[in-house]
Structure 1
Amino acid sequence: MSPQADDRSPNASSRAPWGLLRATVAAVLAIVFIAAAIGFVGFLSQLRGSETKPDRRADGIVVLTGGSSRVSDAMELLAAGYGKRLLISGVRPTNDASDISRSLPDSHSWLACCVDLDRSAVNTRSNAAETRRWAHERGFKSLIVVTSNYHMPRASVELSHAMPDIVLIPFAVVGDKWRDEPWWTNGATVRLVLSEYVKYVAAEVRVRLADLGLDLTPESPDQPSGSLSQHRPATAEAN
């Protein structure tokens, strides 16, 4: 019996580390899942279900293009006197003023006097960089930020990180689909929200690491003045 016991003991000792490893991996995955679920609930709590006018005016207004009615809502805020100028950030280089003029014919006078067009931004991070330059060039200390409700949390992270010296006032645009039915009943909206949550988490992690001096993806230097076109707004890229 003694030789048989000796034969089994090496196998038993070799299985022990694998069992411990599996238990550790399972515990880590469970923690990650719980943290992701809690974070997702927190993300959802930031999404507004209805549009609310800003409770104060600001020096300027910036709209991050990509969702339906963002630009038109921003123009309405400008016309109502909520800001001195409007920056439309993320416009496609191939578009011209006639595109937005056709969709917003009543805004022609405002387009001609008080709108700046950013054609350089290609994502939310570059939206923030161009907005910072625009605001600093004009000495603005406060901005109303216009973007879709699902995009606002990530936009706030990027803009706050880029412009800690500027007061940001969110104006979340709520789309028709969001108002007409619960977001979780529409497959396309569910995918959109989950995708935006992943991007939001990535932005939060990158910004927090950057605050610790660990910027793994350094931002490109601000472009010189002139990358903004004045009085030529148009439709734009999606965020």
Structure 2
Amino acid sequence: MQLLTAAAEPLIKEDAPAKADAAVVLGGDGFGTRIIKAAELARAGYVPYVLVSGPVYLNRHECDYTMEYAEGEGYSASLFRALPNDSDSTRSETALIGQYLRKHGVHSILLVTSNYHTRRAAYLMRRQNPGLRVAVMGAPDPFFSPATWWKTRTGQKTFLLEWVKTVATRLGI
């Protein structure tokens, strides 16, 4: 079991929260944990607002669904800014977000994504946006924990797919 846990731990790279110009929520979270983590960081005073990315899903942008979910959980709509887009990968999403951040004079962010996605997402955000100060925050995923990922089919799929994507990212493919 220790070997299985050790195999998952390199996927996760989290920083301590620090003051930043904005929090950025990556798309792809069907559970709402990313937006809630970012909203909590804003509520705690680390950032003045949360930029919510999201591609099209069921004829609307995911960011719209996500922000509505957070509002339903008691967070003020004024905390959020939508960034609707047509990204189809973390690579394209981080490039698009970087363009937005540069255009709006943002120099530092708290990048919020699922725990298993933190290392790859931070790598791509930093690589594509030199000069941007990035601290990555992991939101809990209900199906992925380094200590138990092998116990569920969804955890197994998440582990394997994230490792494939991590290797592909490092190879530039």
Same fold judged by TM-score > 0.5?
yes
CA RMSD of aligned residues (A): 2.8
Q: Which structure has more helix as a fraction of its residues?
A: 1
Gaps of 5+ in 2: 1-5
- 1:124-139 alignment to 2 at 5 Å? 124-139=90-105
Hey, what does 1:116 align to over in structure 2?
A: 82
SS in 2 for 1:168: strand
Match of 1:70 among 5, 22, 34: 34
Hey, what does 1:164 align to over in structure 2?
A: 130
Hey, what does 2:43 align to over in structure 1?
A: 79
Task: Report if the CA contact (8 A) 2:35-2:70 is conserved.
Answer: no
Query: In 2, distance between residues paired with 1:180 and 1:153?
Result: 14
Give 1:126 shift: 1.3
Query: In 2, distance between residues paired with 1:142 and 1:182?
Result: 33
Query: In 2, distance between residues paired with 1:188 and 1:131?
Result: 28
- Which amino acid letter does the alignment assign opposite residue 101 of structure 1? E
Hey, what does 1:101 align to over in structure 2?
A: 68
Between Structure 1 and Structure 2, whose CA radius of gyration is higher? 1
Hey, what does 1:213 align to over in structure 2?
A: none
Q: Which structure has more strand as a fraction of its residues?
A: 2
Give 1:162 shift: 0.6
Gaps of 5+ in 1: 1-40, 207-216, 218-239
* Residue 142 (str. 1) matches residue 104 (str. 2): no
Task: Report if the CA contact (8 A) 1:79-1:110 is conserved.
Answer: no
SS in 1 for 2:19: coil
What per-residue deviation string (whole Å, max 9, x for no partner) do you get for residues 8-67 of structure 1?
Answer: xxxxxxxxxxxxxxxxxxxxxxxxxxxxxxxxx57633426xxx8843111111111212
Q: State the identity as a percent.
A: 25
